[in-house]
Amino acid sequence: MTVPLIDGFDRIHRDLRISVTDRCNFRCAYCMPEEGMQWQEREKLLTFEEIERVARLMVERYGITSIRLTGGEPTVRAHLPVLVGKLAALGVDLAMTTNGVTLPTLAADLKMAGLARVNISLDSLQAPRFRELTRRDDLERVLDGIEAAKTAGFDPVKINVVVMKGINDDEIVDFAHFGRDRDVVVRFIEFMPLDADEMWNNDRVMTQAEILAALDDEFDLEPVARTSAPATRWRHRDGRGEVGIVASVSDSFCHTCDRVRITADGQFRSCLFATEETDVRALLRDGSSDDVVAAALERTVAAKWEGHRINQVHFIRPRRSMSEIGG
């Protein structure tokens, strides 16, 4: 049963997440099972023109001000700078979440096309552990990608770290030092039940309080005023950067969430943990007018539930993993 939260977009929804592909050049346990996945057929993915149409409609009718490109891994989508150019022309804050591997060759072109910011996913700074988590020996390429993003002029460059107890929780302080030394912003993310291997359980969640305790033992931090962004932030009192924690599990921010999502195959989702989707692709391809598409979007948002209910008995895990939904 869903609990209606709002009547439409007009009050809180300003952030659109668009997954441009379900494919990836890693096979991370968090996103996809070890045996791999059955990818969507190319014709089932939204075209750049279809993505632009939906994005334009949402910007012009509902005041969407921020768009983030996700995947899978968005940079495996051919001619990505072309899509970036189309979306940048809408006048939004355009960002991308990536694993960083291809940024040494793509960063400059993406920046020139109008991409404003990048978030780079990186869950370990230790080569053997990175290889175990991603099943690829590409840590140095990701580190080169971070430097390429900075050289291209992306500012800030953010690093997303999913913290898992018994796996990489011993690297929290190392990542914070990495952020200070490399002049990048580190965001620690609580482990959420969206992993493809369904290994998630609450015992593996390193909570915000536990992450902050580890940081407080090493650094002198002060809180930054909270916004509608998913991360709670702290800055170093000496002025050398900041860290953030996305506490989706232990300190849910559902009441301030301003995000909606479109998957690579054109399914509109009002929540990362939604169990139902609206088939926008079908509407786009059957000749439906913008008014018809907009009405479908509005119905989905109007039925948005009050919260994801992780750790509650009636929580229902989404059938899709993160790589299929988009982060």
Q: How confident is the model at residue 63 (pLDDT cuts 50, 70, 90)?
A: very high
Three-class DSSP category at 237: coil
The domain in which residue 108 lies consists of 15-325
**Number of domains present in the structure of the chain:** 1
pLDDT band at 257 (very low <50, low <70, confident <90, very high): confident
Instruction: Answer whether residue 4 is part of any domain.
Output: no
CATH of the domain at 53: 3.20.20.70
Q: Is residue 7 situated within a structural domain?
A: no
Candidate ranges 9-18, 176-185, 199-208, 271-280; pick with highest mean pLDDT: 176-185
44-58, 98-112, 224-238: segment of lowest average pLDDT? 224-238
DSSP 79-140: THHHHHHHHHTTT-EEEEEE-STTHHHHHHHHHHHT--EEEEE---SSHHHHHHHHSS--HH
Determine the pLDDT at residue 6: 42
- The structure tokens listed for 324 are 């299929």
Q: Is the pLDDT at 228 greater than 90, yes or no?
A: no
Residue 230 lies in a domain: yes
pLDDT surpasses 80 at 16: yes
pLDDT at 153 over 50: yes
Please write the tens of the pLDDT for every residue from 96-106.
Answer: 999 999 999 99
Of 28-42, 122-136, 296-310, the range with the lowest mean pLDDT is: 28-42
Tell how far CA 16 is from the center of its chain: 11
State the Cα–Cα distance between residues 238 and 233, nearest whole angstrom: 15
Residue 247 is predicted with a pLDDT of 85
Average pLDDT over residues 112-129: 97
In a domain? residue 2: no
Residue 227 lies in a domain: yes
Check pLDDT > 60 for residue 79.
yes
Is 247 part of a structural domain of the chain?
yes
72: preceding bond cis by omega (within 30 degrees): yes
Q: Which residues pair with 244 in a beta bridge?
A: 187, 233
Q: Which DSSP category does 56 fall into?
A: H
Comparing CA positions, the residue from 2, 14, 6 lying closest to residue 258 is 14
Q: Which residue has the higher pLDDT, 77 or 316?
A: 77
259-262 β-sheet, strand order: 221-223, 232-236, 242-246, 185-190, 157-163, 117-121, 93-98, 66-70, 15-19, 259-262, 267-269, 278-279
Tell me if 201 is assigned to some domain: yes
* % of the chain surpassing 90 pLDDT: 63
| Residue 6 domain-assigned (yes or no) | no
Of residues 192 and 181, the one with the higher pLDDT is 181
Query: Which pLDDT belongs to residue 290?
Result: 97
pLDDT band at 278 (very low <50, low <70, confident <90, very high): very high
In which band, very low, low, confident or very high, does the pLDDT at 54 lie, cut at 50, 70 and 90? Answer: very high
Model-level pTM? Answer: 0.87
